[in-house]
Amino acid sequence: MTMITRLPVYPLGTKVNRAGHLVIGGCDATDLAAEFGTPLYLYDEFTLRSKINEFKREFGKRYPDLLILYASKAFINGAMALIMNEEGLGLDVVSEGELGIAKSVKFPMKRVYFHGNNKSLRELELGLKWKAGRIVVDNFHELEMLGRLVKEKGVTQDILLRITPGVDPHTHQYTSTGTIDSKFGIPLPMKEEAIKKAMSTRGLNLVGLHFHIGSLIYETEPYVESVKFILNFAADMKKKYGFILKELDTGGGFAIQYTIDNPAPPFASFAEALTSTIKAECRRLKLKLPRLVIEPGRSTVAQSGVALYTVGVVKDIPGIRTYVSVDGGMGDNIRPALYQARLEAVVANRMRARMTGKVTISGKFCESGDILIRDIELPAMKAGDILAVAGAGAYSIPESMNYNAFCKPPVILVKDSKARLIRRRETLEDITRCDII
């Protein structure tokens, strides 16, 4: 296998130029590393918008009453929020910070859904003040707080209830959120009580139900099972209390391909499974079709993102392993250490170089677990080489940290052979700004 065979997991249209350099969005990755420094995160705008439009096309042609929310936790800043608005998407936010980013760029708040399993009183107050379109209520404590707030302020707030469907999505335990034993959502035995309380609380308008079963889900059956459970519950609540399900939010979690040997199902398969099940179940249960809300995050942005690093120390331990250290690592991408994520990489400045054996890509942080990629086939590496890691668009930057007083990397947007800085590199002044002497 050559490095070129790995290009399908990189942004759409990625190629190799005559100099043997990796080219993304018309930009030479080696030149970008020289101009902006490394570590550097780049997003290819064409791939990003293509993925968004694939969701709009595949779900929209099967279910016209559709709202797509971008799950901000995958990566959000002002520029990203503006792109989502241009594409007509809403935002799924989970904190004061994500809500504040939306407000900072005048994102239409009616298309903002405020999630979170432990919202503070301040966050709920901001959600009301800034007129978030929906507040997704996760538990009884929040339901009570929100009920008091709307009464005090004399306002009405549309809400969804997040129900735990008790479905195993067959993914990593850290990204599984729909099982009975989960910190998220209203537990199964208490779901009816939650409906009763929400419907009887003046100022709260219960418009729908929400579930989210996890992340990086490769199978459609967990979605089908969850939809059936929620719709049967909704039908039961209609009979008992007159509850009308106007919106069904099925979350996100759609898998994407990170490595060449592990392809993911097309978005169309998830769209067909979800929409056909909703239609069939609503017909059987004599329910009016609700608006369908989906919340893709990783599947929207992951492939469009690439991380560029500069190689430093190459340490060969004869008969054991060769470590290739780069100038980033778990400080900017903790996913391999936290989730055992597998990633692909290429040597961006020598794409046609011959593979010479397996190496382990290690970071510069003071942890033995700071490994980006273990045992990957690559050419012989030397200091100064530029390593390009694919699938870096989701969660890497949001989960980055200042461990070892590391300055978080810059982020650029590439399109039509031009690069635009959308987040500058942190500086020492940023690192020490909050210190009080």
DSSP 125: H
The catalytic residue among 27, 282, 366, 407 is 366
Number of Cβ within a 10 Å radius of residue 318: 6
Can you tell me the distance from the alpha carbon of 373 to that of 396, in angstroms, rounded to the nearest whole number?
Answer: 14
Helix (H), strand (E) at residue 317: strand 305-317
Q: Which residues contact 285 (CB under 8 A, 6 or more apart)?
A: 231, 232, 234, 235
Note whether 304 and 47 are within 8 A (CB). yes
The reply to whether 366 belongs to the active site is yes
Measure Cα distances from 117 to 122, 124, 295 in Å.
14, 12, 16
Structure tokens at 1: 């296998």
Amino acid at 107: F
Gyration radius of the chain's alpha carbons: 23
Q: What does the DSSP 8-state code read for residue 393?
A: S
433 φ, ψ to 5°?
A: -60, -35
Helix axes 121-129, 96-104, angle to 10 degrees: 20
| Residues known to be catalytic | 366
